[in-house]
Amino acid sequence: MMAAEHVPVLLGRVLELFAPAVAGRPAVLVDATVGLGGHSDALLSAHPRLRLIALDRDPQALERSAERLAHHGDRVELVHAVYDRIPEVLADRHLSTVDGVLFDLGVSSMQLDRTDRGFAYARDAPLDMRMDPTTGPTAADVLNTYPPAELVRVLRDYGEERFAQRIVKAVVAQREREPFSRSDRLVRLLYDAVPAASRRTGGHPAKRTFQALRIEVNSELPVLREAIPAAVKALSVGGRIVVESYQSLEDRIVKQAFVELAKSRTPPGLPVELPGHGPELKLLTRGAEKAGENEIEHNPRAASVRLRAAQRIREAAV
């Protein structure tokens, strides 16, 4: 039942990209966002000598993935951690490098399906949105306590919301009368604040605000900016990193990090590459790869995926 309710996105492509780095020998792979364990289960099944270190900040996800991956025995180690802690997690296990790192970013199917988590605007729920519900401020805390200018910044930067000023003006007026606690009240406010013409053409009026609040609550983009270079640094030469993003802000961070590390640092005009100045990464995808129509039909979550992958080809210069 658990496998049926969670379909890993672009699974075949993920397996194809990692195979040259882990097939046929002892190897270690970090799944930085194990979720319900779909990608990890397939990777472990395909490579009997593979060892997996699986991270997730959500304790409920770790419980579910532990059940799914139990048949792989001691080849799996589950760690409650955010993915910017990859260097610390590896150091604790006396590992200097690994052969692969996988990121499947964004909110998981399980988190969306759990009404009490508050991620989905289609159902009334407490305004929580924490991926780790054991720590940190909630979406309600952000709505009720942030100064108006900070709320506008969050909606503009993380939700790319054109009507941020209007929305925040309405939020501030309402929170002075009664603090926000549930999603239904916020959704009704957004319907009123977003002009009707935009509602007809711009999708659900709550989509961008809910995305922005979730990103702010979980510090998703700042954490990702730290995590991608750290993950590349943890790769052995020949190791591979695969990242699945589901919105443009995430994908932009991944693209910029990969492109920068795939550049030569030799000054232009020199006839030869200076020692230690060559690219650290070789890009394995041409731009961002998307899911095909058939996969999207069977798994709607795949519609927004953007996959990028790269291989470590050189150690970083000292």
Please spell the DSSP secondary structure of 78-97, one letter per residue.
EEE--GGGHHHHHHHTT-S-
Q: What is the pLDDT of residues 225-258, one digit of tens each?
A: 999 999 999 999 999 999 999 999 999 999 999 9
> Do the domains 117-218 and 2-110+220-312 match in fold?
no
Q: What is the pLDDT of residues 62-95, one digit of tens each?
A: 999 999 999 999 999 999 999 999 999 999 999 9
Q: What is the pLDDT of residues 127-158, one digit of tens each?
A: 999 999 889 999 999 999 999 999 999 999 99
Q: How confident is the model at residue 171 (pLDDT cuts 50, 70, 90)?
A: very high
82, 218 contact by CB (below 8 A):
no
Mean pLDDT, all residues of the chain: 91
Which of 259, 158, 252 shows the shortest CA–CA distance to 211? Answer: 158
Please tell me whether 251 is known to bind a ligand: no
Mean pLDDT of 18-26: 97
In the chain, the N- to C-terminal Cα span, in Å, equals 49
CA dist 139 and 189 (Å) reads 15
Cβ neighbourhood burial of 318 (10 Å; 0-12, 13-18, 19+): exposed
* CATH number 1.10.3720.10 is the correct assignment for the domain at 2-110+220-312: no
Neighbours of 285 (CB within 10 A): 16
CA dist 38 and 4 (Å) reads 10
Percent of the chain with pLDDT strictly greater than 90: 79
Mean pLDDT of 206-215: 94
Please tell me whether 56 is known to bind a ligand: yes
Give the per-residue pLDDT at 111.
57
pTM: predicted TM-score of the whole model, two decimal places: 0.90
Structural domain spans, the chain: 2-110+220-312, 117-218
Give the per-residue pLDDT at 286.
93
Give the per-residue pLDDT at 110.
54
Percent of the chain with pLDDT strictly greater than 70: 92
Please tell me whether 6 is known to bind a ligand: no
Sorted by sequence, the CB contacts under 8 Å of residue 216 that are 6+ apart come out as 142, 154, 158
Which CATH code for domain 117-218?
1.10.150.170
Mean pLDDT of 166-195: 95
Please tell me whether 111 is known to bind a ligand: yes
Give the per-residue pLDDT at 7.
81
Q: What is the pLDDT of residues 253-296, one digit of tens each?
A: 999 999 999 998 778 878 777 777 789 999 999 999 999 999 99
Q: How confident is the model at residue 2 (pLDDT cuts 50, 70, 90)?
A: very low
Give the per-residue pLDDT at 119.
75
